Amino acid sequence: MARMVDVAKMAGVSTATVSRVLNGKTVRADLTEVVQRAVRDLEYTPDRTARSLRRRHSAVVALILPDIENPFFTAVARGVEDVAAEAGYSVVMCNSDELPDKERRYLGVAKSENMAGVIIAPTGPKPHLEGLLERGRALVVVDREVRHSVDQVAFDNRELGRRATKLLIDRGYRLIACVTGPAKVSTAVDRAKGWRDAMAAAGLAAPARYLCRRSFRVDGGLAAIEELLALPEPPEAVLATNNLCGVGALRAVAARNLEASFGVAVIGDLPFATQPLENVVVTPLNPRGMGVTAARMLLERLDGLDLGPRKVVLGVG
């Protein structure tokens, strides 16, 4: 059976270079080509079992997400799985349903099963990561910020809220509300701050009654719009701070036949929208890119990278 040292010898490179190529790291194109050719010629297969024994963990990564039915998190999962699979790791998908107890149980399973690491979009700012950190497991937090000193990947959520709101202001709307998620979720808080920033910059009021916190799901957006439209002075438009809230908002607007006048700005792609919608503006995201970035960071930790906690803020575009 061919060994990594045999691949390195045939390719004329170091074993470290072979390892980087096999783990999807950035390597010069010419070196990548000769390594991959040597792997094919020698029919080399990495010994994942031996590597797991040396590292005392399995070649399995847990991905804990709050709502796998949300296409945003489905795309995150796709990015994670693509990178992890190429590096020889399997991904176990866990759906927390925004429930801290369920999330804690999955974290316990990752610890007890000696999984290599965890990528998590947490239900709140203080998930129970201590057990994994004590064991030195690789951890990456995505989408939502936490108070732990771990690697994190997020969007510039305040800027997203500001830009999306400004799109409505530029269309002439002045009474603009904001529908966002629970106060314990940093994404919801920061995008609402961006809404306030844009309103203040335009000299417009952002009264407390125009800020609705609901679930980050379709029913949350629908309920929020119904509440806002029942106000003595209802808004003319709304910022929906995630895709499913946006779907709920659009359903509520359609139920009242307000499509021709009421403005909706949505952060994130609208699921299954195939054509432009009247008075709707969308600020797209790249959730797969978030998953790819998180998986690469996790692999770097598994390969022995020893740096302080890193935070990657993905651009808005």
Cα angle: 131, vertex 136, 142; to 5 degrees: 75
pLDDT value of residue 57: 59
Provide the edge-to-edge strand list for the sheet that holds 237-240: 211-213, 176-180, 237-240, 263-267, 280-283
Reply yes or no on whether the pLDDT at 49 is more than 50.
Answer: no
Segments making up each domain of the chain, as ranges: 4-42, 48-149+291-314, 157-285
Reply yes or no on whether the pLDDT at 81 is more than 60.
Answer: yes
User: Which residue(s) pair with 93 in the sheet?
Assistant: 63
pLDDT value of residue 26: 77
| Structure token pair of residue 197 | 């920033």
| Structure token pair of residue 28 | 């010069």
Distance CA 301, CA 132 (A): 14
Average pLDDT over residues 86-100: 93
pLDDT value of residue 276: 66
Q: Give 86-146 as a DSSP string.
A: HTT-EEEEEE-TT-HHHHHHHHHHHHHTT-SEEEE--SSS----HHHHHTT-EEEEESS--
pLDDT value of residue 135: 86
Distance CA 152, CA 306 (A): 15
Distance CA 173, CA 28 (A): 51
Reply yes or no on whether the pLDDT at 50 is more than 50.
Answer: no
Q: How confident is the model at residue 317 (pLDDT cuts 50, 70, 90)?
A: low
Relative to beta strand 211-213, strand 263-267 is unpaired
Average pLDDT over residues 209-233: 96
Provide the edge-to-edge strand list for the sheet that holds 90-95: 90-95, 60-65, 117-120, 138-142, 151-155, 311-314
Burial 186-199 (b: 16+ CB within 10 A, else e): bbbbbbbbbbbbbb
Average pLDDT, whole number, for the chain?
A: 91
Average pLDDT over residues 227-255: 96
Share of the chain above pLDDT 70, in %: 94
Q: Which fold has domain 48-149+291-314?
A: Rossmann fold (3.40.50)
- CATH for 157-285, options being 3.30.70.260, 3.40.50.2300, 3.30.70.270, 3.60.10.10: 3.40.50.2300
Residue 295 vs residues 18, 76, 77, 127, 298: alpha-carbon distances, Å: 20, 10, 10, 19, 5
pLDDT value of residue 56: 52
Q: Give 246-282 as a DSSP string.
A: HHHHHHHHHHTT-TTT-EEEEESPPTT--S--TTEEE
Q: What is the pTM of this model?
A: 0.81
| Structure token pair of residue 298 | 């996790």
Q: How confident is the model at residue 274 (pLDDT cuts 50, 70, 90)?
A: low
- The winner for highest mean pLDDT among 50-64, 144-158, 300-314 is 144-158
Count the neighbouring beta carbons within 10 Å of the beta carbon of residue 286. Answer: 18
Relative to beta strand 211-213, strand 311-314 is unpaired
Q: How confident is the model at residue 278 (pLDDT cuts 50, 70, 90)?
A: confident
pLDDT value of residue 275: 61
Residue 32 vs residues 8, 87, 293: alpha-carbon distances, Å: 11, 14, 20
For the ranges 196-205, 242-251, 269-278, the lowest mean pLDDT is seen at 269-278
Supply the DSSP symbol for 216.
S
Q: How confident is the model at residue 288 (pLDDT cuts 50, 70, 90)?
A: very high
Q: pLDDT digits over 168-196, tens only? A: 999 999 999 999 999 999 999 999 999 99
Average pLDDT over residues 46-65: 67
Reply yes or no on whether the pLDDT at 109 is more than 50.
Answer: yes
Ramachandran region, residue 84 (left: φ > 0; alpha: ψ -120 to 50; beta: rest): alpha
Q: Is residue 227 classed as helix, strand or coil in its secondary structure?
A: helix
pLDDT value of residue 4: 81
pLDDT value of residue 236: 97
Q: How confident is the model at residue 53 (pLDDT cuts 50, 70, 90)?
A: very low
The answer to whether the beta carbons of residues 118 and 109 sit under 8 Å apart is no
Q: Is residue 314 classed as helix, strand or coil in its secondary structure?
A: strand
Distance CA 299, CA 51 (A): 14
Q: How confident is the model at residue 47 (pLDDT cuts 50, 70, 90)?
A: low
Q: Give 43-96 as a DSSP string.
A: T----HHHHHHHHTS-SEEEEEES-TTSHHHHHHHHHHHHHHHHTT-EEEEEE-
